[in-house]
Structure 1
Amino acid sequence: MVKQFRTLAPKRASAHDTDMLDNTPLTTRITRIPRAFDPARGADVLRQIPSLPDRVADLVVGTAGCSPYLASSLEREGAWVAEAVLAPAQALDAVIGGLAALPPDRLADGLRQAKRRVALLVALADLGGAWQLEDVTETLTWLADAATDAAMKAALRAEIARGKLPGMTPDDVETGAAMVALAMGKMGAGELNYSSDIDLICLFDDSPFDRDTYPDARAAYVRATRKMTSLLSDITPEGYVFRTDLRLRPDASVTPVCVAMSVAERYYEAEGRTWERNAYIKARAAAGDIAAGERFLRDLRPFVWRRHLDFATIQDAHEMLVRIRDHKGLHGKLNLFGHNIKLGQGGIREIEFFTQTRQLIAGGRDESLRLRATVPSLHRLADAGWIAPDVAEALSDHYRAHRLVEHRLQMLGDAQTHDLPVTDEGFARLAAFMDTDVPSLKADITRRIRAVDRLTAAFFAPETASDGAAVPPQDGFGADVIARWRSYPALRSARAGEIFRRLRPRILARLQQAAKPDEALGVFDQFLSGLPAGVQLFALFDANENLLNLLIDICATAPALAQYLSRNAGVLDAVLGGSFFDPWPTDDALLVGLDHVMDGAPDYEQQLDAARRWMKEWHFRIGVHLLQGVITAEEAGGQYAALADAVLRGIWPRVVAAFERRHGPQPGRGAIVVGMGSLGAGRLHAQSDLDLILIYDAQGAEVSDGPRSLAVSAYFARLTQALVTALSAAMAEGRLYEVDMRLRPSGRQGPVATAWGAFRAYQQDAAWTWEHLAQTRARPIVGDVGLMAEFESFRRDLLRQKARGATVRADVRDMRARISAAKPPQGDWDAKIGPGRLQDIELFAETQALLSASPARAVAAQLTAASESSPALAAGEHLFWQLQCAQRLLTAGPLTADALGAGAQAFLLRETGQPSVAALNSTIERVAAQAASAIAAGLADPLSRTGESA
């Protein structure tokens, strides 16, 4: 038996082919039998169906003795039932699979007979415990798909035969003739209940029709839709097939019953509401032109599945539940008599809304959450960390139990009802139908209703669970600041103001717990003032206490990070994405993630914006991990660099592809992008720019071969500019990185892209010592693999050649002096500038690597390249990188103890391992002096080195 709903198609070959059901005789699978409420009626029906196996006979008596509807159906179809229970899958294949072949004059009656027979077999298998809930609902859905498809195609065939559908022939009917029925709700999810109506949205693909033929086509599709619904819904002496509801279509009060896809797309883009997004979670192309329907649903994904975590849907879903209950009069104290097991308190709809709303919240980011069926969706949400596993298990169990009760209620009279009985006799009949007693039945239903209500209530009204826990702020705390909040853009709408008023007591209470509450409040105020208009962020905080705590922690510690958040609030989505605190991924996995988000964007500009969103989330993650002590400064430096590498490796092929479309393929072997400086060394901080050079090998070509060909030098210069623009241009989602290309040959005076031969000649014959030093950290990142390998081989050969230079130490001493004169330290806590600090140590490390011809790029590895390593330099490099990495997370400007809040000071002291500000000051002075002394000694020209040749 199938355990999970599969995508249904109206032309499925057979139940055997899909493994939906097996063909085991029903008699061997029966595990329960209803008690006949009216034994005489049950016995009377059994006498009309001879030759039934004993267990099936008992099942028929119990069924007919409880359900008047099933009793009459058994009387009509007894002979068929006697055969069907021996091979149920085969019987279903014959009935449902045969619908497509029914002739027009037999279609209406044939559909109704199929419905009656399938309903009978499903009821017996369900009542006898032979099938699980999924088997029951999928079989009913399979029937609905096949019936809808047959009715639609019959109607379309008639329109085409009359010449009313322009351009369509009888052959087009087989594929749906550009018309599709989208199954919504339970039909879309494969969860049809026993006496369900079917919710359909009928659409037609209007792209094949021009202005002249469109009106006739639309009229034909509308007529076909009406004929289809009549075939399904009209009550005849043979009964009906399915009650059909078309009201979920776009703007149903004014649109025809079949809507053009382009019209529907424009509607959802401009006016679509949360309830419609919720409905489309389960939408499925079920009948007609399946391919066209699936294209439409793919195009609608951005409407249904929002890019950011969508917590605003919680309130919308809660309001929908309230409106439904208001309309149905379902409020008030729980009373089982007449209680609506679907829409009432603790009912099926609460479980569905709980599940679907969480899917909407996160499904835009996590495609694995985009399931249709309720129980699998609950377990997938648990797997992704959105709900606790025990909650998923409990709600799944209650959902199955509620659906069982729902089906029994509907089997009694084939009525689309969800109301429990209103009399004692009604409850007695229901209890017998479920083979239990009335007290046990009532107790079980009551327990489950209250459990569902308890599990879902806090989710839909989070303020009820959290406001009472908030510590009220001290009188007058932040009154002057709070007074101006209402004027901020983010709080101007009534909806945003309402949510924020719920949040405010919690926010103020947590701000007061900071080491310096007034400072933390000031930073939060700056954060709030920088937010754009909208309610999304506040809804997100309202629903997630941990995220609110993280924001307050950032405001109390890192003002620069809080300001970054106000400009890029969407990065907070990543915290709730389920993997925010997972280990850092491999380089390849990181690139795969970037490629995935860019591949989902429809054009080049949107790909670049997608890359910006992705990069900001990972950048924010690194900062938070460093701030909270999850990673060290050295790990953060490596992660920032790995992130930049992934961006370059992901962006470059798309820049090249866009450029090649205009100017042709890269001549020769093309170009490589080389990382220099800190990027080449594999260590960046939160505010690092990227030092890059671009080298190309045209292999003798003079011009490109494309629609707008360019001379080789111009081609690669403009390709370089395209890369820089892709990285640094301010777009809707901001920029990726600032780019610095001053380390290319001849600096600012040289071309932005350098030919491979010219680069080699320049480095060997004309480059200055500082340019050779820069090559110690050069690292090819992306481009032609062969050229990258040649570059690295040349770099190593170059270092071996230049290691013998007699003036290296003298040149570095001169450079050191000029750097010191040009830019003094910016305060005592300047980690970078000054004798013995980071820039000085890195320059000396490059010198060590050059003099020893070491291929090492990392600072620590370069410092040990010489035969003797200096503990003073190692200590300096470690301390000042910790200080630099932490500083650049806190601020872009100079850093002094007086300018830092208490939280930021505590963070710096933790990172540098110092007990106090005074101890940190003393350590900085001592370590810098020792490192400067070691550098001066290392750059001296001792007599032992006088033999070095030029």
Structure 2
Amino acid sequence: MSTTHPLADALPPSLRDAFGRQWARYLERLPQAANPPAGLPESLPRVWALSDFVADSCIQSPGLLDRLLTSGGLERRYAANEMRERVRDALAGATDEADFMAGIRRCRRLEMTRIAWRDLSGLADLDENLDDLSMLADALLEAALQFAEASLEPRFGRPGDGQRLIVFALGKLGGGELNFSSDVDLIFAYAGPGTTDGRQPIDHQDYFTRLARLLIRYFAEITADGQVWRVDMRLRPFGDDGPLVAHAASMEHYYAAHGREWERYAWIKARVVAGDHAAGARLLATLRPFVYRRYLDYGVFESLREMKAMINRESEKRSGGLDLKRSPGGIREVEFIGQAYQLIRAGRDTFLQHRSLREVLARLKQRGLLPAWAERELQLAYSFLRHAENRLQMQADQQTHRLPDEALARLRLAVAMGYRDWEAFRTALDGQMRRVHEHFERIFSTPQTGRTEGMDGLLRAWRDADGDALRERLAESGYDEPEAAATELAALAKSPTTRTLTETARQRLDQLIPLLAQAAAGQEAPAQTLTRALGVVQAMAGRSVYLSLLVESPLALSQLVRLCAASPWIAQQLAKMPLLLDELLDPRSLYAPPDREGLARELEVALAEVADDDVELLMDRLRQFKAAQVLKVAAADVTGTLPLMRVSDQLTWIAEAILDRVLAAARRQLSARHGPPWLAAEGREAGFGIVAYGKLGGIELGYGSDLDVVFLYESGSGEQLTRGAKPIDNPVYFARLAQRVIHLLTTLTSAGALYEIDMRLRPDGAAGLLVSSLDAFAVYQRGQAWVWEHQALVRARFIAGAPAVGERFAEVRGEILCRPRERGDLRREVREMRERMWQALGSRDAALFDLKKDPGGIADIEFLVQYNVLLHAPAHPVLIRYTDNIRLLAVLAEAGIMDSATTALLTDAYKAYRDRTHALTLQAQAAVVAVGEFADLRAGVKRIWAALLGKDEDGASSA
């Protein structure tokens, strides 16, 4: 019988010799006159040459190779649940503990040999390997738990309420990414106290502790057949000093009171792998707020840096050599990158809550948190390193991550990885690890590396609240008013807020202050900028995570300083809602607010995990969304990257997106109780809609504008009841719907109110019903509405709700606006209404000009437009197409109603006034300027007003 194999000739000489030795050993173990099994795979020489574990397994158990060949497992990937079925079948005949422990080890060896063979022969990819290893561990853990339960039952019975042990896997097994020769990180729990129901009842703590010890022994005890997996229990509460098993309530208390940052990191990958899956899922849901904070937790970077430094120190204590897991650029650094973003953001973005690292990296790219090129490099490097890790461990089934020193082991690893020799492999490996470490350093680099002696001196002065030293340091840094800035810094240092900070928060504040002072020094007015920024810092100082964000992200800090320098209003918004600091991390989106479609998509993402009946969370998320989007508009506005017309467009789109979502949520909430409102005579659901007036209707919202809205609904003949478990009249339903919409918009929460709502333009104003049927609205507009209400209708448009309501409203609006009017009566009504407005609201200071209310200002232009629309729409229906003043002025010119010079002046004045109003708002100032600032434009507007509306035929003049 030949002791060679023809396919071995393709191997390098040293590997061919290694295979020859193993093949000879195999042949010696065969029974006399027996031949190797028929149909040996062509991959056998390569696999045996690369893995002593596979060769030894086949040699020591000659029947193992037969089973591999006859089962078909070498040629194909297992189907779903096939691994669990094979494990169950392999252990079905175990009658006692010794038999079970031998059987579980033989089963493990068979499946591990199969997994290694398929990998080393190139038949399996990394996904399959990690899945199969994890599924094998899951199946063996469940089998071991069931056998342990059966062994305890005759004496102790079973726990009450059908409880079972909850077996959590963390680490690689928890993530479904187990490596070839890993240990398994486990934590044991149970649902709650009680006693077993056997002849010797014991309490649950005792029972589950016994069960856990048996499970560990079945897995970790070394017998003649080896061991299944090493079991690491050090991640459990209180580590080696804690109980082996804990009930759910005690675990909840532990993590709430004692949980540490590294435990949050560990629990990212937690998964129930055996036992009581339902109870485990409930416990995981309870612990989720511990793992994933609902705020942006940038303190994670510092914690993970410390953890990585500890890992590096431990690695250095071991024998020399490159470590695929722990060395710079190794597997652990890729894990830290993915999981750092999860710890920071996944509490607010549940899309990032995933156990698989490779899937997390992909989702980070989708969220724009990792550039596509960085994600691609990290994915390639991680795949390379995990392949190398597995193939290194497959050589002898040893838990090692260090590159070998012995020449044959090196060649085995190089060839297994597809390289001709060790040097080529090391070149490729070094390149992958270098790229990983570059990404790691970019993300985790210590932000204090650029400190100067001046900054250190300022820090000492700040800690001592030494005003003189602070003034001196600030003057050296170029501050225009060092005295004022020093006073602000000293006041913050001595403030009750600072004195009561935790040690961690104080350390982070100490890190931030010199960085902030240095960044503000580069602005045009450093002292003013620093004062505004310190207001933001003081508002968030109690939440050290926000301090960490600014310390860890120089980009966010620079944007904060830039915006505080440009606008006190923006500084105030950031102080009110520190969550907005997250928006400073990406200037690409900060200064490029999304369009209407983009806003809808972003709102959908923001509310993806929010149930309509979770009213508190819904209101918070809506307020956070609005604040973030308005900040983007203000940032783009104040830096000049967004033109005037787009500012109002953006602010209007934000309101429309929110109103649409609020209406949908309110309707679902109400219909869940009462069913949909129904028009029995027509056999369909009755529609409801929101009509916008004023600045919202005219697409001219400003910062802080309230919303003028009217609620309309469809009515009909016959029965009008909702179709639900608790039916109510449709009008009652719609009144409650409107009330719910107003509640969601105006309720003051910790995040403020969404919008103030003005309902005074509804039929009969404040005395009228909250909602009106379309028929009642039409009747009112035809016979009871004042001229000023028809003026308001010029700017009205349908913005949310049932399209049929919008169509009917447009018909009524068109009918009213195109009604013929007598010029003199209309002229007098419009002028008198404007005079009453000025008398009530205008400025009384001759040195000042109120841009909105004074003669020659915005209101005059609006009234001029409305007057011309009402007068000329019967002859020029195109005038009712638009609701914004700029386009209406353009149509008035095109129709020849006003000459182009007049409309150009009014357009220029209107834009200039609005632009100045936006700018003043961002400077936290009222819309009032010195009387001479727009003297020419104002005079022009007043001339046009006088020509069109200024005097009646009897000579009476307007204001």
Q: TM-score range by the shorter chain?
A: 0.7 to 0.9
Query: Is the 8 Å Cα contact of residues 670 and 696 (structure 1) preserved in structure 2?
Result: yes
Q: Which residue of 1 aligns with 2:665?
A: 654
1:381 and 2:364 aligned = yes
1:851 and 2:877 aligned = no
Query: Is the 8 Å Cα contact of residues 591 and 636 (structure 2) preserved in structure 1?
Result: no
Q: Which residue of 2 aligns with 1:314?
A: 301
SS of the equivalent of 2:753 reads coil
Q: Which residue of 1 aligns with 2:177?
A: 191
Change (3 A) 1:200 1:930: same
Please identify, of 188-197 and 592-601, the stretch whose mean Cα deviation from structure 2 is larger: 592-601
SS of the equivalent of 2:807 reads helix
TM-fit CA distance, 1:782: 3.0
Change (3 A) 1:720 1:96: closer
TM-fit CA distance, 1:598: 3.7
1:929 and 2:939 aligned = yes
SS of the equivalent of 2:310 reads helix
Q: Which residue of 2 aligns with 1:498?
A: 507
Counterparts of residues 312-351 of structure 1 (less than 5 Å): 312-326=299-313, 328=314, 330=316, 337=320, 340-351=323-334
Change (3 A) 1:812 1:548: same
TM-fit CA distance, 1:621: 1.5
Q: Which residue of 2 aligns with 1:45?
A: 25
Please identify, of 928-937 and 553-562, the stretch whose mean Cα deviation from structure 2 is larger: 928-937
Unaligned 5+ segments in structure 2 are 1-5, 31-35, 456-472, 680-685, 874-878, 954-959
SS of the equivalent of 2:551 reads helix
Please identify, of 527-536 and 695-704, the stretch whose mean Cα deviation from structure 2 is larger: 695-704
Counterparts of 1:347 and 1:675 in 2: how far apart (Å)? 58
Which of 473, 477, 480 does residue 487 from structure 2 map onto? Answer: 480
Change (3 A) 1:262 1:625: farther
1:883 and 2:869 aligned = no
Counterparts of 1:834 and 1:355 in 2: how far apart (Å)? 58
Query: Is the 8 Å Cα contact of residues 182 and 188 (structure 1) preserved in structure 2?
Result: yes
TM-fit CA distance, 1:771: 1.1
Q: Residue type matched to 2:784 in 1?
A: A
Counterparts of residues 84-103 of structure 1 (less than 5 Å): 84=68, 88-89=74-75, 97-101=85-89, 102-103=91-92
Residues 373-409 of structure 1: CA deviation (Å, up to 9, x unaligned): 3345445434544344454444445444544554455
1:238 and 2:249 aligned = no
Change (3 A) 1:459 1:703: closer
Query: Is the 8 Å Cα contact of residues 619 and 640 (structure 1) preserved in structure 2?
Result: yes
Counterparts of residues 283-322 of structure 1 (less than 5 Å): 283-290=270-277, 293-294=280-281, 296-297=283-284, 300-322=287-309
Which of 139, 147, 153 does residue 154 from structure 1 map onto? Answer: 147
1:165 and 2:143 aligned = no
Please identify, of 767-776 and 800-809, the stretch whose mean Cα deviation from structure 2 is larger: 800-809
Q: Which residue of 1 aligns with 2:834?
A: 816
Counterparts of 1:779 and 1:91 in 2: how far apart (Å)? 61
Counterparts of 2:83 and 2:727 in 1: how far apart (Å)? 65
Residues 699-747 of structure 1: CA deviation (Å, up to 9, x unaligned): 5779989999988877655554443232112112211011122222333
TM-fit CA distance, 1:350: 2.4
SS of the equivalent of 1:330 reads helix
SS of the equivalent of 2:886 reads helix
Change (3 A) 1:440 1:585: closer
Residues 312-365 of structure 1: CA deviation (Å, up to 9, x unaligned): 111111122233445x3637xxx9725544234443222211221123223344
TM-fit CA distance, 1:752: 3.4
Change (3 A) 1:142 1:428: same
1:518 and 2:536 aligned = no
Counterparts of 1:892 and 1:229 in 2: how far apart (Å)? 70
Counterparts of 2:413 and 2:770 in 1: how far apart (Å)? 82
Change (3 A) 1:223 1:788: farther
Residues 143-180 of structure 1: CA deviation (Å, up to 9, x unaligned): 112212222333445566778335778xxxxxxx7655
SS of the equivalent of 2:326 reads coil
TM-fit CA distance, 1:258: 4.7
TM-fit CA distance, 1:885: 2.5
Counterparts of 2:132 and 2:13 in 1: how far apart (Å)? 21
Query: Is the 8 Å Cα contact of residues 58 and 64 (structure 2) preserved in structure 1?
Result: no
SS of the equivalent of 2:15 reads coil
Q: Residue type matched to 2:535 in 1?
A: Q
Q: Which residue of 1 aligns with 2:652?
A: 641
Q: Which residue of 2 aligns with 1:863?
A: 889
Counterparts of 2:503 and 2:761 in 1: how far apart (Å)? 53
Query: Is the 8 Å Cα contact of residues 166 and 188 (structure 2) preserved in structure 1?
Result: yes
TM-fit CA distance, 1:130: 4.8
Q: Residue type matched to 1:680 in 2?
A: G
Counterparts of 1:315 and 1:509 in 2: how far apart (Å)? 22
TM-score normalised according to structure 1 size: 0.81
Counterparts of 1:651 and 1:523 in 2: how far apart (Å)? 34
Counterparts of 1:290 and 1:353 in 2: how far apart (Å)? 28
Change (3 A) 1:606 1:159: farther
Q: Which residue of 2 aligns with 1:760?
A: 778
Residues 598-645 of structure 1: CA deviation (Å, up to 9, x unaligned): 452352222111211122111212211222333212111111111111
1:682 and 2:699 aligned = yes
Q: Which residue of 1 aligns with 2:345?
A: 362
Q: Which residue of 1 aligns with 2:60?
A: 76
Residues 121-161 of structure 1: CA deviation (Å, up to 9, x unaligned): 33344445554444433322221122122223334455667
Counterparts of 2:122 and 2:849 in 1: how far apart (Å)? 75
Q: Residue type matched to 1:773 in 2?
A: Q
Query: Is the 8 Å Cα contact of residues 555 and 584 (structure 2) preserved in structure 1?
Result: no
TM-fit CA distance, 1:34: 7.3
Q: Residue type matched to 2:304 in 1?
A: A
Q: Residue type matched to 1:766 in 2?
A: Q
Counterparts of 2:619 and 2:191 in 1: how far apart (Å)? 31
Query: Is the 8 Å Cα contact of residues 490 and 531 (structure 1) preserved in structure 2?
Result: no
Query: Is the 8 Å Cα contact of residues 572 and 617 (structure 1) preserved in structure 2?
Result: no
Which of 570, 580, 596 does residue 589 from structure 2 map onto? Answer: 580
Residues 15-44 of structure 1: CA deviation (Å, up to 9, x unaligned): xxxxxxxxxxx989x999973686774353
Change (3 A) 1:756 1:38: closer
Query: Is the 8 Å Cα contact of residues 559 and 891 (structure 1) preserved in structure 2?
Result: yes
Please identify, of 244-253 and 719-728, the stretch whose mean Cα deviation from structure 2 is larger: 244-253
Q: Which residue of 2 aligns with 1:605?
A: 616
Residues 63-97 of structure 1: CA deviation (Å, up to 9, x unaligned): 46xx4x55532312345336636851459677763
Q: Residue type matched to 1:654 in 2?
A: A
Counterparts of 1:400 and 1:793 in 2: how far apart (Å)? 63
Change (3 A) 1:254 1:79: closer
TM-fit CA distance, 1:684: 0.5
TM-fit CA distance, 1:865: 4.7
Q: Residue type matched to 1:350 in 2?
A: E
Change (3 A) 1:559 1:400: same
TM-fit CA distance, 1:454: 4.5
Query: Is the 8 Å Cα contact of residues 45 and 74 (structure 1) preserved in structure 2?
Result: no
User: What is the number of equivalent residue pairs in this alignment?
Assistant: 877
Change (3 A) 1:710 1:932: farther
Change (3 A) 1:55 1:779: same
Which of 938, 942, 948 does residue 948 from structure 2 map onto? Answer: 938
Counterparts of 1:188 and 1:836 in 2: how far apart (Å)? 70
Change (3 A) 1:398 1:590: closer
Q: Which residue of 1 aligns with 2:859?
A: 839
Q: What is the root-mean-square deviation in Å for CA atoms of aligned residues?
A: 4.2
Counterparts of 1:36 and 1:251 in 2: how far apart (Å)? 51
